[in-house]
Amino acid sequence: MKSSHLPLTGRRYHFSGVGGSGMAPMAQLTALLGARVTGSDRNFDRGLELPVFDGLVRAGVALVPQDGSGVEPGIDALIHSTAVESTNPDFARAEALGIERIRRGSFLSRLAAERRAVAIAGTSGKSTVTAMIAHILVDSGFDPSFLGGGAAAGLDGAFPPGSLRVGGSDWFVVETDESDGSVAEFTPAIATLTNLTRDHKEVDVTTELFARLLEQTRERAVLHVGDPALAAVDRPDHLPIVTVAVEGDPVWMRADLVASSVQRSRPPTRRVYRSCARRDR
């Protein structure tokens, strides 16, 4: 990994609740990008020997008690998830020192803003699509960084267990999160939107979040118009949008890219796309 692609060298961050499923990969990535990272977690204080803590240490994260002692003068920010209680001693210490507190999703959007990000959004299937795009870019020689919500099995260069990768280029494939609203804070080069249903938020709220993401996308977007709710999201005039659909969807004849000869595999929730061809328009 080239030093020019260690953009966080010289920075210091503390992650409170570092053992969480979303926090641990973020802390690992931050450390692997050159920052000095400390992290605290209640389960670490309880003496639990969890695999996640071994992975954090391997990435260079220093584990400390969750009693505020790890929040030291000179730290650039305290990173936390929405699951961390307001009574956390780390918070009180950060406030006393005037250290900025940043939610995990907001911090991720800041990291992504420093690179050429491909941001994946949707109410389901994000982890799968994020991993697929990472695989495609790696196999195509783009050498991207990657941070997903699940392990990308067999991804060359991924840091164990596979939910993150630090590449040598400016490309950064990242899974966003609509549940905390942080998806609307991203300003990616490319946005990919998979679907839109009622999940963490009502459909109208998520619709607005996705519209803001598209408005802030710089180069182009990929939009699954086979999803009626997603097809109705406002599209900014400045942004080239590639529309995709599955053959047989109500609007598939008008999509730019169509997946055809789709077959279901077992378990039935999985789909294998046998072909994907651009329609002549």
The whole-number mean pLDDT for each consecutive block of 10 residues of the chain, a chain of 281 residues, reads: 63 96 94 96 94 95 96 97 90 97 95 96 92 95 94 88 92 93 96 89 91 97 92 94 88 85 60 42 41
CB atoms within 10 A of CB 203: 14
* pLDDT value for 277: 45
DSSP string, 51-93: HHHHHHHHTTPEEE-TTTTT--TT--EEEE-TTS-TT-HHHHH
pLDDT at 1: 41
Which pLDDT belongs to residue 264?
67
- Show the domains of the chain with their CATH numbers: 3-107 (3.40.50.720), 115-278 (3.40.1190.10)
- The pLDDT of residue 266 is 61
64 and 39 Cβ atoms separated by less than 8 Å: yes
pLDDT at 205 (0 to 100): 93
pLDDT score for 272: 38
Q: Single out the residue of 182, 259, 262 nearest to residue 222, CA to CA.
A: 259
Predicted pLDDT at 188: 98
pLDDT value of position 279: 45
Determine the pLDDT at residue 265: 66
